[in-house]
Amino acid sequence: MRDVAIIGVGAHASGRFLDKPMKALAYPAIWGALDDAGVKATDINVAYVGNSLGGLLTGQEGVRGQVVLQHSGITGIPIINVENACASAMTALRGAWLEVASGAADIALAVGVEKMNVGDSARTIGALSGVSELDLSELGMQFTTSYAIHPKINLKSRMAEYGWTAADFAKPAVKNSYNGSLNPLAQHRRPLTIEEVVQSRVIVDPLTLLMCSSISDGAAAAVVCSADIAKKFSSKTHITIAACVLQSGVYRLPGDERPDSATTSAYAAYEKAGIGPEDLEAVELHDAMAPSELMLYERLGLCGPGEGPRLIDERITTLDGRVPVNPSGGLCSRGHPVGATGLLQICELVWQMRGEAGKRQIEKRPKVTMAQNQGGLLLGQDSAVYGCTILKS
């Protein structure tokens, strides 16, 4: 397999854009990525378009990518429409990577786009249930509920086991809100305090409103090509995809002691990339609910059991820390347009690795970074899908 480089990225801001259809969200991301890469629309050999909710929320199904790319000048090539809940965009990136790595294509485009605001938040929440197994949504299980009570997450039992407090759960939200305040593409740009987060409305005890990511519209794109021709197109920092791993969840009976799939997918990526968690210099991870960042620290190998809050207290994962986590603001602040999130994470990492991240630039430009996703719910599984991408420069 050939080495694959990311030579261009582009993103639409995340937020509430009621008047924009999916393609209006996607064009700035696509054109931004092409422009950044220095390639023309007609240079693209194959395109992967990730989206998770377009059928249920916009009525557009079956040919979502063809519609999204319709006036981009990208036609006549294979367009592969993929969905994989919160890892839809990472699934698109993995597809583009495989096309180029295998030699089936020289230059590939990955797009992630989601239109969640349709003027009726109940409809959006209903559609999100379709991202779970429907039998679960019939039980009234929503994502927030699952984060609060899921046996592998169960925030209350973490409080009992580790002595974590509501203030601990708020820490990632506070850290990431500061990062998001420096990101012009972020959905929420006001720095929060521990008190505000803890005292905001309870959604599902112990989760409060400001610990949860919002309904969000957005899009992101990346152009990838074989590493040996990358310099022909772009003179920017050479960034390669060292690993792009996708895993679906496994069924677990009570007492199952196997590592969580967030761990197995991350360690599969570490192995492919030939690194360990200690080598990471920046991470974008899936903080759909703020406390999950604390648990992901453990699962990705950034700390031992129960040590999550310490990484923030000791300023290890802050923007000025040894391994900044969610420099973009993460899902809670930058925004979580479901099918775009994985590529929004990749955009942020590429900008940080190139030194183009503006006011939130990590002082020592990171050279080894990771984006991590998970999403979807099936009864008896941890999550339905996990994704992990490691970039090197």
CB of 242 to a copy of itself, least distance (A): 15
Backbone phi, then psi, for 348, in 5-degree steps?
-60, -45
- Which residues on adjacent β-strands are paired with residue 368? 392
CB of 134 to a copy of itself, least distance (A): 5
- Which residues on adjacent β-strands are paired with residue 247? 386
Annotated catalytic residue, options 12, 286, 336, 388: 336
Q: Are strands 107-114 and 46-50 parallel, antiparallel or unpaired?
A: parallel
CB of 68 or CB of 220, closer to a copy of itself: 68
Rounded to whole angstroms, what are the CA distances from 34 to 18, 151, 195, 294, 349?
26, 44, 43, 36, 18
CB of 132 or CB of 208, closer to a copy of itself: 132
The 10 Å Cβ neighbour count of residue 21 is 16
Q: Convert 102-133 to b/e letters by CB count within 10 Å (16 or more is b).
A: eeebbbbbbbbbbbbbbeeeeebeebbbbbbb
Backbone phi, then psi, for 289, in 5-degree steps?
-125, 135
CB of 74 or CB of 295, closer to a copy of itself: 74
H or E stretch covering 202: strand 202-204
CB of 74 to a copy of itself, least distance (A): 8
CB of 1 or CB of 160, closer to a copy of itself: 1
CB of 125 to a copy of itself, least distance (A): 13
CB of 260 or CB of 293, closer to a copy of itself: 260
The sign of the torsion formed by the CA atoms of 138, 143, 146, 152 equals positive
188 is catalytic: no
CB of 194 to a copy of itself, least distance (A): 33
336 is catalytic: yes
Rule CB under 8 A: which residues touch a copy of itself?
A: 1, 52-56, 58-64, 66-67, 69-70, 75-85, 88, 91, 94-95, 98-99, 101-104, 127, 129-134, 245-251, 261, 264, 338, 375-376, 378, 381, 384-385
CB of 140 or CB of 184, closer to a copy of itself: 140
CB of 275 or CB of 378, closer to a copy of itself: 378
CA-CA distance, 96 to 283, in Å (whole number)? 21
Closest-CA residue to 6 (of 317, 353, 341): 353
Annotated catalytic residue, options 86, 212, 225, 332: 86
CA-CA distance, 354 to 324, in Å (whole number)? 15
Instruction: Give me the half-sphere count of Cα atoms (radius 13 Å) on the Cβ side of residue 69.
Output: 28
CB 26 within 8 A of CB 199: no
CB of 69 to a copy of itself, least distance (A): 8
CB of 251 to a copy of itself, least distance (A): 6
- The residues annotated with a catalytic role in the active site are 86, 336
